[in-house]
Structure 1
Amino acid sequence: MHSPADWPILGISVIGSILLVEVARRLLRRASRKWDPARHLLEHCTWPAFLTAAVVAFNLVFGPGMFGDTPGERALARTVQQVLGLVTIAAVTWLIVQATYALTDVVLERLVRVEGERNRRARRIMTQIALVRRIAAAAIIVIAIGAMLFSFPQVRALGAGLLASAGIAGAIVGIAAQPTLGNVVAGLQLAFSDAIRIDDVVVVEKEWGRIEELTLTYVVLRLWDERRLVLPVSYFTQNPFENWTRHGSRVLAVVYLRVDWSVPVPKLRDALYEFLQTNALWDQKDWTLQVTDVHENGLVELRALMSAADSPSAWDLKCDVREFLVNYIRENYPDSLPRFRVETPESRLGVGNASGNSLGNNAGNSVVRDAGE
């Protein structure tokens, strides 16, 4: 039987454990200036550590006799012990999960800084670490919940019956959870097959964006206009999609123009090259300007192609080049703007007039109209 003096001892023990955690927190704060793991441990583990220290100290000092020896007091003591056990399991689980996130954040923070050719491999590792730590956290929580349940004698007594019916229950749960389990398997497949990674540029459902979050059940795509498109993981294993950065972040930008036949392509090509040399978005590697098609409406199609370091730069470069070419043609070769030529009966009569009285000014004797008319 404990004396009333045990209660002050209990309080001193709890306060002392909290003070020890506070001392450790201050030491970590000083070390965080030069040691990255210390900073992440402070961010994630401060409150879980306080709670765990207090609960563990309470468990070490607390005894059932502190409430007395009457049946009612002993029952109250058992209830308190039961609650303390549950809180201890919860606190330790919280601390372990947060410590896991803190240590993995150190690696993820370093991988974010990787640029250049190693960026693709870094993003692949980031995706795998993010998924693996989610699985680890889920497993730890499930084990903790199981430990909490089996701390009750009634639950342990039901264990044999539950094990006997585990086969039927497992089949029912498996059928009910088939979509969820399929998504989990698909998430692991995407992470370790390198199909998509965090920060990959993809085109899904005609929407362009970056992979912002990849979990075991869904993928969050941050679109170019800051909207978020949330898709189940299984979508990426069952439907085709474009990944612009699977083997590298470098992207080719393409601009199409449809102009009149009179456009001076060599001069336009030289002007484009001079413009690209002054544009910081061009990576100084690939470029070309070609006549790629002649349309049925009589317009000539030009394709300007240039490379950029990544997809956002390629988009901006494409807009810059399109604006430059439009202004350049309008200011220097206005006759090359898009036009449609229409042959009329009068023009055909003029061509066949032997006296030379033609209705047209050119050999083609056609009526020329601007494409905008």
Structure 2
Amino acid sequence: METFMNSVRQLGGISLYLTVVSGCTLFILIYGVRRLRSLQKRRVDFTRNMDVTEAIETDALDEDAEKITRSQATSGIKARFELIEKIYVPAILLVGLFLACIPFIPEIHATYISLVAGVLAVLVGIAGKPIVENMISGVAISISRPLRINDFVIIDDKYGTVENITLLYTVIKVWNWRRYVIPNHKLLQKEFINLSLQEEQEWAYVEFYVAPGEDIDLVKKLAKQAMQVKYLDSIEDPSFWVINMEKDAILCWVAGWAKDPAQAWALRSATRKNLSISFRENGISHQLSNLNIEKPPTPHNVHPS
């Protein structure tokens, strides 16, 4: 402490020190508040103009429901940033006040100050660790934006959309409309897939097996026709691949572009249905998983018993 006081006196005295501390505190306070409000405005503008989507195609949302969803998301963003600001402002002022008071407490040994600060830190850490962890993680998510409201995500093998982000937890609206609530500090430690981070277009594919004796050219034609549904994006025609040739089955893929993960879900479903119908009508033995497919006997190799 004595070394510190000597340094202060060398800089021109306590008045200069207080001026520097006050100026730095004021600058950090104003810059931080303006930055928070700018981020809040950008998030709110984005949310008000976003297209409300569900994890799967559904007609359950009408125009009023979409407005309510946007309103709830906007209110959540405002509440989150307002709470961050309410924490940020007094925290910066307290730090500035503490720094300003240091020259006036020379009689208190630095060891005692460190001891009291350490005890308070331990007590706060034990009592409020979950809340503090979640709040810090909530601030990190709000600023870094690894996910946003209405993003399509896959977390813990659950596919859905981000419905709300608070300072303490994040709500995922799963495809079956159940809510999956994750504390923010756990969310930051998880690996998850954000299907909307760069673009929402998805390369959707359906894999299936056919018997080795089937006509692959016919299979290719029928598979590509099966994917020609309303959910297919028109940027490119469906593609077909023979992925693997096993002893008792041939693994095939048919794939095409969808505009977003919800459309991709519907595209895969419609393609599977059309494949099943088309293959059955054309007598093609198939499975969506390899169950040792055997081509059914044709009349010329059926022998009477």
TM range (shorter): 0.5 to 0.7
The structure that is helix-richer by fraction is: 1
189 and 105 in structure 1: CA distance in 2 versus 1, 3 angstrom threshold: closer
8 Å contact kept, 2:224–2:254: no
Opposite residue 129 of structure 2, the aligned amino acid is Q
Return the match for 2:144 from 193, 198, 223: 193
8 Å contact kept, 2:135–2:168: yes
129 and 265 in structure 1: CA distance in 2 versus 1, 3 angstrom threshold: farther
8 Å contact kept, 1:128–1:192: no
Opposite residue 186 of structure 1, the aligned amino acid is S
Opposite residue 290 of structure 1, the aligned amino acid is W
CA distance in 2, matches of 1:290, 1:310: 23
Matched, 1:251 2:187: no
Give the secondary-structure state (helix, strand or coil) at the position aligned to 1:182. Answer: helix
After the TM superposition, which residues 85-234 of structure 1 pair with which residues of structure 2 at under 5 Å, given as runs?
A: 108=44, 111-114=47-50, 131-136=80-85, 167=117, 168-234=119-185
111 and 198 in structure 1: CA distance in 2 versus 1, 3 angstrom threshold: closer
Q: Which has the larger radius of gyration?
A: 1
> Which residue number corresponds to residue 278 of structure 2?
328
Superposed CA RMSD: 3.6
Opposite residue 263 of structure 1, the aligned amino acid is E
CA distance in 1, matches of 2:273, 2:213: 20
Opposite residue 324 of structure 1, the aligned amino acid is N
CA distance in 2, matches of 1:312, 1:196: 17
Instruction: With the length of structure 2 as denominator, give the TM-score of the two structures.
Output: 0.58
Q: Which has the higher contact order (CA 8 A, sep 6+)?
A: 2
8 Å contact kept, 1:261–1:336: no
CA distance in 2, matches of 1:234, 1:295: 46
Instruction: With the length of structure 1 as denominator, give the TM-score of the two structures.
Output: 0.49
Opposite residue 312 of structure 1, the aligned amino acid is A
CA distance in 2, matches of 1:238, 1:208: 18
After the TM superposition, which residues 335-354 of structure 1 pair with which residues of structure 2 at under 5 Å, given as runs?
A: 335-337=284-286, 340=293
CA distance in 2, matches of 1:132, 1:192: 10
8 Å contact kept, 1:262–1:335: no
What is the number of equivalent residue pairs in this alignment? 212
Matched, 1:285 2:221: no
341 and 107 in structure 1: CA distance in 2 versus 1, 3 angstrom threshold: closer
CA distance in 2, matches of 1:185, 1:256: 43
CA distance in 1, matches of 2:158, 2:246: 28
Matched, 1:315 2:298: no
CA distance in 1, matches of 2:239, 2:84: 48
CA distance in 1, matches of 2:284, 2:272: 18
Gaps of 5+ in 2: 1-36, 52-72, 92-112
CA distance in 2, matches of 1:188, 1:302: 46
Structure 1 position 173, deviation (Å):
1.6
CA distance in 2, matches of 1:169, 1:337: 68
